[in-house]
A and B are shown apart, each in its own frame.
Chain A
């Protein structure tokens, strides 16, 4: 039997993404979303109680009749089905978390509800790439590569130019490309490898070391700089370490001031729910939106081919435009 609550839960099942604020553990994010969803689910009005016919003793008739007892039939609600006795219908929901974000970093965090967990598994088996923006600062080095850590070294950064930085980035990308080919487990001299490379499908199967498939500097203003990174199998700590190593490579030091994930597989910043919108109704809307966008993609298969055929540069430029959208808006406000 499906109650309104169950029907509502069916509508909640699926994938969606949230924007995890910095300084919050991903578990806390997941738990607060679970409690919010439970609150929304159980707020539905309670079902009417089933009625049950019971025979009640009538004490007043005992005195009258010597035989002692009359029973009267009455229809009473079955209290053992009352919501105060049984508790809310849903006491926990399976909420799965996609690729993790540590407490220091922020950005798009993919979550799955109920059946969506299977889809989540498939999503990560398909080797989705992720985009990050890393904010770095030259001049110091810390023990945990972030700006909050203990400072272990200070250095000058006056000699660094954007040209030098980009040379280092190109070198790093070359090394990573080599690693990508090494981990892709295809014979490089085969037709298969050629076709995969044409479609941009070369990549490691399953686990591998973190691989940066794309690395660009989008903002340079010493001592601050911002990098945009597209990567596979990374951890946020590894990305901070990349910033640290770039600093060392430039004969200086650098710390990472922020790690922000702007895209995770098909999810990008536009879809992400900020923490004001972590309610059942907003999540439901986000899930429906994802479903419809996936259906549209299925109906038009030529569209899905296009991004694969395009060179990756074009793909990556699409994202910063989206990011800068809001900055433009802010300028308008000013």
Chain B
């Protein structure tokens, strides 16, 4: 830096001197003044050109008139700085801003010239020099531009800077999943940890949610962080007023994160829907909701469809449907197509009557491929006997719920390799 500066000074000085020597005769008072100044002792001239080095760099190719302007400007600085008597170079450097600002110019001729200079160097004058010493107070007051990008597609750029995001990561929130949702990333960034996030977390902890579940809840439902605290409390109170025990409420909230974002009225409607559609008693409604709280949060349309499918397409009676739902609430949210596929196989291929399916409703909740392969294997071995009144009865429950090894050894009386080979002949 210093060496390059010095080089610039030298170049500047040679330029100035050559120009002055060639054009002195044609110029008026300004030039005369310049030549007068040029008689100033060498040492100070050096200093002055050193000062102005950085100003002249960009304008080295300007016309002579402006050169003279500079020159006269240097001279004003000279005269001023001469009076001050420099102690060392640092001070000298610091003063290079001063002359533009100070109106105390000893030479009248130079006054319009400095105005011109000011208009040229406005931006340079407004900033501090890089070499200037500043005090600690000033250093603190300085606004350092942050490295944060104003816009980003990922929360990754903000995690280390934002307190909220840092704390959320420490809680175990899946930020990369959340940032894929529209608007969730910017919502999280705008939150203040102490005023927005902490009260909700404390509330969740207050009703008894375990620490390990907090991350899960927020990963799935970040909107709980902008929900009104009073509303949250009201909803918890509502659930408790419906005789859900506090432990049940906690487990429901931690398994169905959206539960607390539903208004009391909506929750009430949904509870009423299940009770009416299934004609259940209050306690059994509570039972299925507590076991599958997702029922309250998901759409009701597929539930209605599934009920109709059970009633019309499968031909179950109302009390049978009740029994199935109480035993396996998941039937209500199951995929309609898969439900039909598996019932079709059970009833039409395996010839299992309705009352047996009602007795073991768990079969409606298994995978189609699993039932099919096992049934075909048993059929191949001549053991597909699902009638409890006959010998060698195989219960549906055991057929679908046993793991493969146990199924092979206990029901099929074969080895795992045989079953594997059989699967390859299907």
Contacts and interface: CB of A to CB of B under 8 A. Distances in A.
Interface of A: 19, 21-24, 52, 67-69, 78-80, 82, 84-87, 106, 260, 269, 272, 274-276, 323, 325-326, 329-330, 333-334
Contacts of B415: 333
A276 B419 CA distance: 11
B342 interface: no
Interface stretch (B3-11, B20-28, B170-178, B234-242): B170-178
17 contacts: A21-B423, A24-B369, A67-B136, A67-B137, A68-B140, A79-B165, A79-B166, A79-B169, A80-B157, A84-B172, A84-B175, A325-B421, A326-B422, A329-B418, A329-B421, A330-B421, A334-B381
A84 B219 CA distance: 10
Given A78-B160, A79-B160, A84-B169, A330 B418 contact: yes
B189 interface: no
Contacts of A84: 169, 172-176
Interface string B121-147: 000000000000000110010000000
B426 A106 contact: yes
Contacts of A106: 426
Given A67-B136, A80-B160, A84-B176, A333 B426 contact: no
Given A80-B157, A333-B414, A85 B176 contact: yes
A333 B381 contact: yes
A80 to B, nearest CB: 5
B140 A80 contact: no
B404 A272 contact: no
Contacts of B160: 52, 78-80
Interface residues of B, number: 34
B176 A87 contact: yes
Interface string B368-384: 01000100000011000
B417 A329 contact: yes
Nearest to B341: A23
Which residue of A86, A330, A334 has the most chain B CB atoms within 10 A of its CB atom? A330
B425 interface: yes
Interface in B388-426: 404, 413-415, 417-418, 420-426
A303 B421 CA distance: 28
A325 B424 CA distance: 12
DSSP class of A's interface residues: helix, strand, loop or mixed? mixed
B420 A274 contact: yes
A269 B424 contact: yes
Contacts of A79: 159-160, 165-166, 169
B205 interface: no
A182 B54 CA distance: 85
A70 to B, nearest CB: 11
Contacts of B380: 330
A326 B369 contact: no
Contacts of A78: 160
Given A80-B157, A272-B424, A326 B418 contact: yes
B155 interface: yes
A260 B425 contact: yes
Given A22-B426, A24-B369, A330-B380, A85 B421 contact: no
Give 5 nearest A-B pairs by CB, closest first.
Answer: A326-B421, A87-B176, A274-B423, A79-B159, A80-B159
Interface string B35-63: 00000000000000000000000000000
A19 B413 contact: no
B190 interface: no
Contacts of B418: 326, 329-330, 333
Contacts of A85: 155-156, 159, 169, 175-176
A259 to B, nearest CB: 12
B166 to A, nearest CB: 6
Contacts of A24: 369
A93 to B, nearest CB: 18
Given A106-B426, A275-B369, A82 B420 contact: no
A263 to B, nearest CB: 12
Interface string B158-170: 0110000110010
Contacts of A80: 156-157, 159-160
Given A80-B157, A86-B176, A330 B369 contact: no
Given A272-B424, A274-B420, A276-B404, A86 B381 contact: no
Contacts of B166: 79
Which residue of B137, B157, B160, B417 has the most chain A CB atoms within 10 A of its CB atom? B160
